[in-house]
Amino acid sequence: MRLLFGARARLRWVHLVLGGALLMPYFLLGSVMVGPFTDDKNVFTSLPMQFGAFAVALPIASISALFPLARPLSVGAVRALCAVPDGQLADGPARSRAARMRTAGWFTLHLGIGGIISGMTLAVPPMAVLLIILPVFSSLRESRFGLPEVLDHTWGLALSPVAGIAMLVALAACAAAAGALLARWAPVLLGPTPADRLAAAERRAADLAVRNRLARELHDSVGHALSAVTLQAGAARRVLDSDAASDVEFVREALTAIEETTRRTVGELDAVLGLLRQGEDGEGFDDASGPTLDALDDLLARSGVKVAYAEQGDPVVRTPDRVSREAYRIVQEGLSNALRHCGASPVSLRIALRGEELEIVMENPLPDKAPVVRPGGGRGLRGAAERATLLGGHAEAGPHGDIWRLTARLPLNGGGR
């Protein structure tokens, strides 16, 4: 009984009746089209004309379902009424030819089967109720209502309620079977096509790229600032705790560096959060944001370490903005890495233009024991390598003898993008 009259069966029955309702405009149009070919102009009194109008209505319905928006409307109805797992159905309009053809097939199937079940739903219950109450009301037997002569016999009259109940059960069984059939075919005809799966994979890749980009921006700007502030604050504390507590000027310089570093980082954090706000407003993410090599002098002055900087080929002026932004972040990460692992050890930085390529080389001595500034390490060097790869270049870092070296080579054309 639950299979025939349960909640799922009832919802699928409603879905079938909805298909019958959607069929009616096409059915009326079909009746107009087949009218000239028959003597009986009334579609509701001529059974052949009804079948003819039905046969003409389905192709017209399939053509109307070729519009892209037909699929999301059908998918919404199936999700609400047919108990089909959500992951088996496609999202969005049908863009490809294959998706539109599948949607047209589904729409035709839904309206065709729904029209039949709707017709049965309208015709069977009144007749079944009449048969059930026929033995009780003699006036109904006298009116006849086109009933068969077998009901004039006592045994036929006694069995009429059974026949009425059987008709209702048969109707429910037909509706349940038709609903199950549509539920089985829905993932086949309304499920994602290979083109849909490819588009979904591309969207996921784009979202992942944006998330990785924002993670790199936050890591490089905030991570560098925190490393520099930690080093400056630690140095100031050691001075205050030592016998040289009278060295107020050093403490003042350390606090000034902390203030300027945090102020600059707040501005960079606002820029990164601005990218998130743009994404929420549907405006997309702007690549033209963030500091470039123009701000390199300020970064080196407030980095917390002594940096010996040399450049060749005027890279600040000649480097395109997109490459310049990524180069700035790579240098920033190199300084952060030196701070975390080498403390205040001096760093050498060389940025050179070599043909159509920007080369960055940063070196610092390896300490005997790296200070624990941020336990567990981070992902900065991997982020630097990802930045270089996105531009069509490469970056690598590792020990070379008694020094640590970070090298990056970035094509000036930004990977052709």
How far apart CA 176 and CA 162 sit, in angstroms, is 21
Segment 233-247 shows an average pLDDT of 70
Which residue ranges make up each domain of the chain?
A: 2-191, 199-416
Phi and psi angles of residue 401, each rounded to the nearest 5 degrees, phi first: 70, -125
Q: Do residues 349 and 316 lie in contact, with contact meaning Cβ atoms separated by under 8 Å?
A: no
pLDDT tens by residue, 316-346: 888 998 899 889 888 888 888 887 777 667 8
- Beta strand 347-354 with 357-365 is antiparallel
Most confident stretch, 29-33, 60-64, 294-298, 368-372: 60-64
Segment 184-203 shows an average pLDDT of 84
pLDDT over 70 at 57, yes or no? yes
**Mean pLDDT (the chain, rounded):** 80
pLDDT over 90 at 106, yes or no? yes
284 vs 351, more confident: 351
Q: Do residues 403 and 388 lie in contact, with contact meaning Cβ atoms separated by under 8 Å?
A: no
139 vs 385, more confident: 385
Q: Do residues 115 and 20 lie in contact, with contact meaning Cβ atoms separated by under 8 Å?
A: yes
> How much is the pLDDT for 260?
74
pLDDT band at 120 (very low <50, low <70, confident <90, very high): very high
- As a whole-number percent, the residues of the chain with pLDDT over 70 amount to 79
Q: Which amino acid, residue 281? A: D
Segment 350-374 shows an average pLDDT of 79
pLDDT over 80 at 46, yes or no? no
100 vs 239, more confident: 100
In this prediction the pTM is 0.54
pLDDT over 60 at 282, yes or no? no
> How much is the pLDDT for 26?
93
Segment 350-362 shows an average pLDDT of 92
> Which spans in 191-247 are helix H?
194-241
- As a whole-number percent, the residues of the chain with pLDDT over 90 amount to 29
CA distances from 127 to 162, 168, 254, 399 (A): 12, 9, 95, 91
Indicate the fold that domain 199-416 takes in CATH.
Heat Shock Protein 90 (3.30.565)
pLDDT band at 372 (very low <50, low <70, confident <90, very high): very low
> How much is the pLDDT for 284?
47
Mean pLDDT lowest among 214-223, 259-268, 367-376? 367-376
Segment 166-184 shows an average pLDDT of 94
> How much is the pLDDT for 349?
93
- The owner of tokens 């100031």 is 236
